[in-house]
Amino acid sequence: MGIVTIMNYYVIEGEHTDPNDITTVIQSKQKIHGPMLRGQADSLARQLIMKNIDNYYHRAWVIDDEIKDSLVLK
């Protein structure tokens, strides 16, 4: 039996009406990347944050399958 790699992390990015609340992402500006490994998701989120550093309302969040499935975006 080999090692199983679980790729169950996603990066949600976009502009938000409240940048401190993931559920306020503007649907038309939302992008979901994944699934991927946790390290890949963290790295992508950092890249997206740096790319959009001057946009206060842009955020990139790393979430897992359980959160993604239960997340209700406004």
Q: pLDDT by residue (tens digit) across 23-54?
A: 999 999 999 999 999 999 999 999 999 999 99
Per the structure, how many domains does the chain have?
Answer: 1
Would residue 41 count as lying in a domain?
A: yes
Q: Which tokens belong to 1?
A: 């039996």
Q: Specify whether the CB–CB gap between 7 and 35 falls below 8 A.
A: yes
What pLDDT does 1 receive? 57
What pLDDT does 69 receive? 77
Average pLDDT, integer, range 1-24: 87
Q: What is the mean pLDDT of the chain?
A: 90
Q: How far is CA 65 from the centre of its chain?
A: 11
Fill in the DSSP letter of residue 25: B
Would residue 73 count as lying in a domain?
A: no
Q: Where are the alpha helices (DSSP H) in the chain?
A: 38-51, 65-70
Residue ranges making up the domain that contains 40:
9-61
Would residue 25 count as lying in a domain?
A: yes
- Cα-flanking dihedrals φ and ψ of residue 53, to 5°? -60, -30
